[in-house]
């Protein structure tokens, strides 16, 4: 039910007289009559001193107008008239209590919250909580908590004003005076209500004393169960203290505040007064009852009806307890929708509901502003976007509080101001549309959910006035990145009430979230079984294990009278069983979609659910051969699949093209248009050995016709199988033993094979797989495109069966990444297969058989008899393992050595009893020619243009530069950057800055600024210039010094390096997360330098450590250089945690600082700030005027050019 998913609160007061006063009202049942208003104030512990406490009315008599009743905490509390009307700005108890809130009192600090605060639009908050905390900041131990139900009430320092629109409604107020020791309890209970805080001037000193108060004030999210808080405390005793229990219910808790919280926690029957609906009945079963108080009732002599009363409260029978609550007692929305034919066809330009809804989008309407997004927008090429989201937001900017969110699945649809046109190519497919009308208060929720989908926005004319009111809408339009967890956004709101209101939940899943939108998001968030209709693949099955199931709707199905198949339908949706909820989704139900942004917009309505549920009533269960070539022979042994496989002699020797290998690879060594291939080898034919960590060798062959056929050929021979180069055996390998394995498989298993290969990090030397095949097989595409494996686990375990002819075999493939330090035999095969292992592989003296534990690891004795040949380990290049008790043989790639733990590896394991027996029977530019040396520093002091330079040499020292820095010739920087500011085809560049020239400052986390220059001719030369100047060095824009920077000091460092150091430099720069504003590096360069490619293409760093430490030398070993790059996800201080710890030395720092960041003289290595001002080569420099940042590493003869200030928040 809706209220279960809304944060809630209950503040419960235990007092017999207060209970009796409410109980008297809750026992009377009379005819319904209209009322104007009743305002009720319960004031506990009254005092007239100017402290943070509750105040009474000073015993004045109330007039007979807008009146209220008050019940105070002394003696025998009972209802009495308030001294003044609630709309009067003095003498009323509320005015007196809040005197230090509506007018300034420096001794009283406050925090106020409301879902509809004064002088602001209603907040898009899930919570209905309203209240004020007042804390006396002096030595007095005094605080008060004022809770109320009035919207647009209590403006901070704005004087007292009663909202006249609320006069027609009933409202309730509760004021509790308490000791400051209870502030944490109160704050924690309020936090769980997820309030919108509109005022807060609590001091740091107060927040530091009360951690939960600090969490509330700073918006620290609650992320761990339980999502319910139960606090207990007493009011401050003057004449009478009261026991208080405060409950706070988070939006992630689906417990009803009355039935599951109050009734269960207090173990008592409950009587409820709160807005309700016809479906929410009294519950009289069980030990403890839940009963609605009849409406109208008599409360202190005034007749009150439920409909006209905003007050919500509950009586706890037998406990003398009254609870002030925030939630309605309601169930779900009304209506009984059903499918009906549309008025006209969707390709007509009028009358259809889509055309009518979007009329103000396709034609200009000055009053309706829009933002539209699609991964395949109209009149534009398809965008290379990660998200598949498509939709339009429409906002009425007049006084009408109206907005609409239109979601759809159609590519090339809805051109802004381009008239209505249906894309004919989409007629053959099924599509779905959802339109939700809502009030503008919910725009932030909708915008935040869309942001998490990372959409491509193709139309936007939202004015600044709208964006300034809605922060998340502004973030969406301005493409503000989401950079902190959680990477799943969830919004809840209701549609705009016309005839029926519907509850909406919108989920947005970011690309950084690897949660499947169906299994991890919808199933877990709703705690329910799911039925899914979306494009799928054979690997993505129905999941029936566990409490909640995930089931694919059977295809084809009958949907609204039409037969629909999954393949022809672009619509994607899910049913949430037991929740009357239908979700419009954007993602396919495929394993590969976990890393694609996604959305689910879920509507709770029984009628809609039933209409979809009627359609979703039905829900959904290779040949192989080994070849072995013994050492010193060219004749081979073959074992083929069949009922009783055994080693037999090959018909021909391996150097004959008619050998089984030659015949298998005939479509690889010569061209066959129908057979597409991918080949990998760490030592490929006709190429020098690749400097690859992996030893994997093999070929994938895929039939590109309609035939569902593929083969995977794995071998151990270097310099073997040249693509389109004819069949030839490398004679150098005749002296060694080699093993070959060929598996025939269905194309459905290509993703499993490709993923296992990716983890081996192979060197691909031949590939002609077409785009059509790659688009069908995501992991195959990742393998071909060299997509790195960046997230744990760094081990892949794939399972499939070979293609059946006479007999099939179960295959398990393990791929071990270089980032995994698991030994392929001990940690992978033995542990994963839970069995003892016998190993045949190259080994060393340190790697022994391991006979301890349940499962053993034993080396097979060498030499051995294998297929009638004597084979020694040293002469054999084959590597394999027997898995005892599993009838399984594994062909492996790694030696059995300790050093192999950090080398990628593979094991292809085949389960077949006879195969096991067969093996078991025998087992035991010119950049650096500027005459400036290998490196130089340049320093520009504040307020001058003349600079200092220190070049590399025997005794480097500061000297005046030849020209001022603003001169466009002669200065060392101008000379170095000549091929950057003007074009030189041989010099390629990459430049980065957080404040680049001719562009607005970038909203980047990094402060890094610099340029990489690379000689693209035969010369092995590159340079790295690092600097501190904003708006400096425009690519191909001529040299220009920014005059605004003359008043500041700046520093420059230039390093000449060999190209082999480019990867180290690029990786260090990557960790700084720079904004790249110029890049013309060619593909040939990027392909040579992987880290340079990662930097240029913006590949994110996603795994720890988030700190890079690169070491290199300038050209001709002129100077040793260490480069540190610290990522935003690393919270290590650059000076203390990085430089001091990594270099194990004392550090002296020159960088902008604040008073909190002191010199640190404790410990072995000190961190000391250089005194400002200082004399720098004869020039007096102050820290405030200097943009240069550097550090001296004592005892290491080392100077560090840094980018960070020395501040606590840097």
Q: Domain locations in the chain?
A: 2-325, 353-615, 632-920, 935-1128, 1132-1210
Cβ proximity of 335 and 369 under 8 Å = no
Could you report the per-residue pLDDT of 208-265, keeping only the tens digit for each?
A: 999 999 999 888 888 777 777 787 877 766 555 678 887 878 777 777 888 888 888 8
205: how many CB neighbours lie within 10 A of its CB? 9
- Strand segments, DSSP code E, in 540-683 are 550-552, 557-559, 562-564, 573-576, 581-585, 598-604, 624-629, 637-640, 648-649, 675-681
Task: Please tell me the distance from the alpha carbon of residue 55 to that of residue 1044, in angstroms, as a whole number.
Answer: 58
Could you report the per-residue pLDDT of 50-86, keeping only the tens digit for each?
A: 455 565 554 332 222 355 666 655 556 667 787 788 8
Q: What is the structure's pLDDT at 543?
A: 77
Could you report the per-residue pLDDT of 811-838, keeping only the tens digit for each?
A: 676 766 667 677 888 888 888 888 899 9
Task: Please tell me the distance from the alpha carbon of residue 973 to that of residue 1025, in angstroms, as a whole number.
Answer: 9
Q: What is the structure's pLDDT at 1056?
A: 84
- The chain-wide mean pLDDT, for the chain, equals 78
Residue 1118: pLDDT band with limits 50, 70, 90? low
Cβ proximity of 229 and 191 under 8 Å = yes
Q: Tell me: pLDDT of 623 over 60.
A: no
Q: Tell me: pLDDT of 1144 over 50.
A: yes
The two tokens of residue 293 are 């108080």
Cβ proximity of 517 and 510 under 8 Å = no
When mean pLDDT is compared across 71-80, 527-536, 661-670, the lowest value belongs to: 71-80
When mean pLDDT is compared across 371-375, 609-613, 867-871, the lowest value belongs to: 867-871
Q: What is the structure's pLDDT at 989?
A: 92
DSSP H or E segment with residue 392: strand 391-396
Question: What φ, ψ does residue 78 adopt, rounded to 5°?
Answer: -150, 160
When mean pLDDT is compared across 243-257, 519-533, 707-721, the lowest value belongs to: 243-257
Task: Please tell me the distance from the alpha carbon of residue 313 to that of residue 148, in angstroms, as a whole number.
Answer: 12
The two tokens of residue 143 are 């605080």
Q: What is the structure's pLDDT at 35?
A: 24
Question: What φ, ψ does residue 911 adopt, rounded to 5°?
Answer: -95, 115
Residue 207: pLDDT band with limits 50, 70, 90? very high
The residues facing 865 across adjacent strands are 870
Task: Please tell me the distance from the alpha carbon of residue 840 to that of residue 820, in angstroms, as a whole number.
Answer: 22
Cβ proximity of 605 and 333 under 8 Å = yes
The helix, strand and coil proportions of the chain, stated in percent and rounded to the nearest 5, come to 20, 30, 50
Q: Tell me: pLDDT of 379 over 80.
A: no
Burial 509-540 (b: 16+ CB within 10 A, else e): bbbbbebbbbbebbbebbebbbbbbbbbbeeb
The residues facing 303 across adjacent strands are 298
């Amino acid at each position: 039910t809706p209220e279960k998913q809304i944060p809630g609160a209950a503040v419960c007061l235990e007092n017999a007289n207060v209970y009796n006063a409410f109980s008297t009202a809750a026992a009377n049942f009379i005819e319904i009559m209209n009322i104007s208003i009743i305002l009720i104030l319960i004031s506990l512990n009254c005092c007239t001193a100017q402290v943070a406490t509750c105040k009474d009315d000073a015993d004045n008599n109330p007039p007979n107008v807008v009146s209220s009743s008050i019940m105070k905490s002394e003696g025998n509390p009972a209802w009495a008239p308030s001294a003044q009307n609630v709309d009067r700005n003095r003498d009323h108890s509320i005015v007196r209590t809040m005197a230090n809130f509506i007018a300034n009192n420096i001794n009283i600090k406050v925090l106020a919250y409301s879902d509809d605060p004064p002088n602001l639009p209603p907040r898009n908050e899930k919570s209905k909580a309203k209240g004020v905390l007042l804390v006396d900041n002096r030595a007095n131990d005094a605080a008060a908590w004022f809770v109320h139900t009035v919207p647009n009430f209590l403006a901070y320092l704005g004087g007292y004003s009663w909202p006249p629109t609320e006069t027609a409604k009933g409202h309730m107020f509760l004021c509790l005076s308490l000791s400051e020791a209870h502030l944490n309890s109160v704050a924690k209970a309020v936090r769980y209500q997820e309030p919108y805080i509109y005022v807060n001037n609590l001091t740091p000193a107060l927040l530091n004393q009360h951690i939960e108060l600090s969490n509330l004030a700073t918006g620290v999210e609650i992320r761990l169960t339980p999502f319910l808080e139960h606090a207990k405390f007493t009011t401050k005793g003057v004449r009478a203290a009261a026991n208080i229990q405060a409950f706070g219910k988070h939006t992630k808790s689906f417990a009803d505040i009355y039935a599951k919280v109050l009734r269960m926690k207090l173990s008592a029957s409950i009587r409820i007064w709160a807005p309700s609906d016809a479906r929410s009945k009294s519950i009289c079963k069980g030990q403890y009852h839940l009963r609605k108080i009849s409406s109208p009732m008599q409360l202190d002599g005034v007749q009150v009806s439920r409909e006209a009363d905003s007050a919500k409260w509950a009586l706890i029978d037998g406990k003398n307890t009254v609870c002030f609550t925030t939630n309605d007692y309601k169930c779900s929305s009304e209506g009984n929708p059903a499918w009906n034919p549309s008025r006209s066809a969707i390709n007509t330009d009028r009358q259809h509901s889509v055309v009518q809804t979007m009329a103000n989008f396709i034609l200009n309407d000055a009053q309706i502003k829009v933002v539209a997004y699609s991964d395949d927008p109209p009149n534009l090429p398809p965008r290379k976007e990660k998200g598949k989201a498509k939709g339009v937001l429409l906002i009425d900017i007049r006084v009408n509080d109206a907005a609409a969110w239109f979601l759809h699945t159609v590519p090339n649809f809805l051109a802004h101001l381009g008239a209505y046109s249906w894309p004919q190519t989409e007629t053959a497919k099924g599509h779905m549309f959802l339109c939700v009308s809502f009030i503008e208060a919910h725009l932030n929720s909708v915008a935040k959910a869309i942001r998490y989908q990372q959409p491509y926005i193709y139309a936007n004319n939202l004015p600044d006035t709208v964006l300034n009111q809605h922060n998340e809408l502004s973030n969406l339009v301005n493409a503000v990145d989401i950079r902190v967890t959680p990477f799943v956004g969830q919004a809840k709101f209701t549609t705009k009430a016309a005839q029926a209101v519907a509850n909406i939940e919108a989920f947005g899943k970011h690309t950084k979230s690897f949660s499947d939108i169906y299994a991890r998001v919808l199933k877990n968030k709703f705690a329910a079984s799911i039925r899914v209709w979306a494009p799928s693949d054979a690997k993505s099955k129905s999941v029936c294990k566990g409490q909640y199931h995930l089931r694919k709707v059977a295809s084809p199905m009958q949907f609204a009278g039409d037969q629909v198949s999954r393949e022809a339908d672009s619509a994607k949706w899910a049913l949430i069983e037991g929740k009357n909820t239908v979700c419009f989704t954007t993602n396919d139900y495929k394993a590969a979609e976990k890393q694609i942004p996604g959305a689910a917009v879920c509507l709770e309505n029984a009628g809609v659910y039933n209409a979809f549920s009627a359609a979703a009533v039905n829900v959904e269960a290779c040949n192989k051969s080994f070849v072995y070539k013994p050492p010193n022979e060219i004749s081979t042994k073959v074992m083929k699949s069949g009922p009783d496989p055994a080693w037999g002699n090959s018909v021909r020797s391996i150097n004959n093209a008619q050998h089984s290998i030659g015949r298998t690879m005939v479509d690889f060594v010569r061209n066959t248009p129908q057979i597409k291939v991918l080949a990998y080898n760490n030592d490929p034919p006709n190429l020098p050995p690749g400097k690859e960590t992996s030893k994997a060798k093999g070929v994938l062959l895929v039939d590109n016709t309609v035939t569902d056929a593929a083969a995977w050929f794995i071998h151990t021979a270097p310099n073997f199988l040249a693509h389109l180069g004819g069949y030839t055996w490398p004679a150098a390998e005749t002296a060694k033993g080699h093993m070959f394995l060929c598996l025939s498989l269905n194309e459905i298993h290509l993703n499993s094979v490709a993923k296992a290969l990716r983890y081996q990090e192979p060197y691909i030397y031949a590939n002609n797989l077409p785009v059509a095949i790659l688009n069908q097989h995501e992991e195959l595409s990742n393998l071909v495109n060299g997509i790195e494996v960046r997230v744990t686990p760094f081990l892949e375990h794939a399972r499939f069966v070979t293609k059946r002819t006479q007999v099939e075999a179960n295959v398990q493939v393990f791929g071990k990444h270089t980032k995994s330090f698991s030994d392929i035999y001990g940690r992978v095969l033995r542990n994963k297969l839970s069995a003892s292992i016998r190993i045949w592989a190259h080994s060393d003296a340190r790697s022994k058989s391991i006979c301890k534990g349940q499962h053993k690891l034993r080396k097979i004795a060498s030499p051995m008899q294998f297929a009638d040949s004597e084979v020694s380990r040293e002469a054999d290049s084959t590597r394999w393992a027997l898995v005892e008790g599993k009838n399984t043989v594994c062909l492996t790639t790694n030696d059995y050595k300790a050093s192999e733990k950090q080398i990628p590896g593979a094991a292809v394991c085949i389960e077949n009893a006879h195969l096991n027996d067969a093996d078991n029977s025998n087992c035991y530019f010119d950049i650096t020619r500027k005459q400036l040396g290998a490196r130089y520093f340049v320093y520009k002091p504040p307020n001058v243009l003349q600079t200092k330079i220190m070049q590399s040499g025997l005794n480097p020292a500061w000297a005046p530069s030849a020209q001022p820095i603003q001169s466009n010739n002669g200065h060392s920087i101008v000379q170095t950057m000549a091929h950057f500011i003007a074009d030189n085809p041989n010099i390629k560049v990459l430049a980065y800055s957080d404040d680049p020239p001719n562009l607005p400052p970038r909203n980047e986390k990094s402060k890094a600024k610099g340029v990489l220059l690379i000689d693209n001719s035969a010369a092995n030369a590159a340079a790295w210039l690092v600097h501190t100047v904003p708006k400096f060095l425009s690519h191909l824009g001529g040299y220009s010094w920014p005059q605004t920077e003359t008043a500041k000091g700046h520093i420059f460092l230039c390093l000449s390096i060999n190209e082999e150091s480019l990867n180290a430099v690029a990786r260090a720069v990557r960790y700084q997360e720079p904004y790249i504003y110029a890049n013309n590096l060619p593909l040939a360069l990027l392909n040579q330098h992987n880290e340079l490619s990662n930097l240029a293409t913006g590949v994110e760093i996603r795994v720890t450590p988030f700190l890079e430490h690169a070491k290199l030398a300038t050209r001709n070993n002129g100077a040793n250089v260490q480069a540190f790059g610290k990522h935003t996800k690393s919270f290590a201080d650059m000076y203390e945690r990085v430089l001091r710890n990594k270099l194990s030395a004392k550090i002296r720092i020159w960088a902008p600082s604040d008073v909190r960041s002191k010199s640190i003289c404790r410990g072995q290595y000190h961190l000391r700030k250089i005194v400002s001002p200082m004399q720098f080569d004869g020039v007096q420099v102050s820290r405030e005027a200097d943009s240069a940042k550097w550090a001296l590493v004592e005892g290491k003869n080392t100077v560090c050019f840094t980018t960070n200030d020395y501040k606590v928040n840097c």
